[in-house]
Structure formats: C-alpha cells, structure tokens
C-alpha cells in the first residue's frame, strides 16, 4: 500500500489540481483527498483502508461510463494504469472476457441443455473468441 500512496503523493506534487484514478487490479481507485472529492461530487462510497488511507473507486469495466460522468461534472481527472509490464489494457480486458466464457461453461447444467441450446452457446463462444483473437 505504501507504494500506491507514494505514487499518489508524487502525482499530486506534479499537479495537485487533478484527481487521479489509479488502477489497482480490476478497479480504479481514488485515494485520500481525491476520494473525498469524488465522494462529494458523484457519490462514490468511501472505504477506510487504514487510519491514514481512504479510498473509493469503480471497476475497470465501467471506465467509459465514469469518464462521461467526470466530464459532465467538469472533474479534472487523470486515469493512471498500473499494469504489469508486458500486459496491455486490451490484453487484460480480453483475459476478463475469456474468464467470463469459462465461468459460463462451468455453470452450465448439462443435464438440462438441449442440443440446439448447446450449439447456440458454442456458436456464441466461438464468435466472442474470434473477436478477441482479431483484436
């Protein structure tokens, strides 16, 4: 957590007028003063990480939605991506889509699926996977 706070503090030193959404895993988080500001402006719920650190945030899958909200609210923000080296944002999101496909397969009740439904499911998966590979 200290690495994240140090990054946040460095960003605020460079430009204290911006609100920083820092990516941590599958969420974008606002810390401390930025979290308070975002909570007041758009109502994201604040969570205490420790006595000195508070945060609020949103899932990366909602980034486009929140960008629109920030722009509509005239919030001066910056998105900060902290992805592991060699992993692009697209790769990460594609990985999430593949995980959703796998989860859907795992949850199928094979005793109650007709051949037609199974074919439609496989066709849907094939189309999604083709789209992911083409990206």
Model pLDDT, residue 22: 94
Model pLDDT, residue 86: 46
Is pLDDT above 70 for 83?
A: no
Full-model pTM = 0.61
In the chain, the domains with their CATH numbers are 2-80 (3.40.1170.10), 89-134 (no CATH)
**CA–CA distances in Å: residue 54 to residues 26, 57, 102, 129:** 18, 11, 34, 39
Name the residue with tokens 């592991």: 84
Q: What is the mean pLDDT of the chain?
A: 84
Is pLDDT above 80 for 64?
A: yes
* DSSP per-residue letters across 58-69: EEGGGHHHHHHH
Is pLDDT above 80 for 133?
A: no
């Amino acid at each position: 957590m200290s690495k994240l706070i140090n990054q946040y503090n460095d960003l605020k030193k460079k430009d204290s007028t911006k609100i920083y959404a820092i990516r941590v895993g599958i969420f974008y988080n606002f810390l401390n003063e930025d979290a308070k500001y975002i909570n007041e402006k758009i109502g994201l719920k604040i969570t205490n990480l420790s006595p000195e650190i508070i945060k609020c945030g949103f899932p990366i899958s909602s980034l486009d939605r929140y960008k629109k909200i920030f722009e509509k609210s005239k919030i001066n923000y910056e998105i900060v991506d902290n992805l592991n080296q060699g992993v692009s944002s697209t790769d990460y999101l594609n990985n999430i889509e593949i995980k959703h496909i796998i989860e859907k397969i795992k949850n199928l009740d094979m005793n109650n699926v007709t051949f037609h439904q199974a074919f439609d499911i496989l066709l849907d998966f094939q189309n999604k996977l083709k789209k992911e590979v083409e990206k």
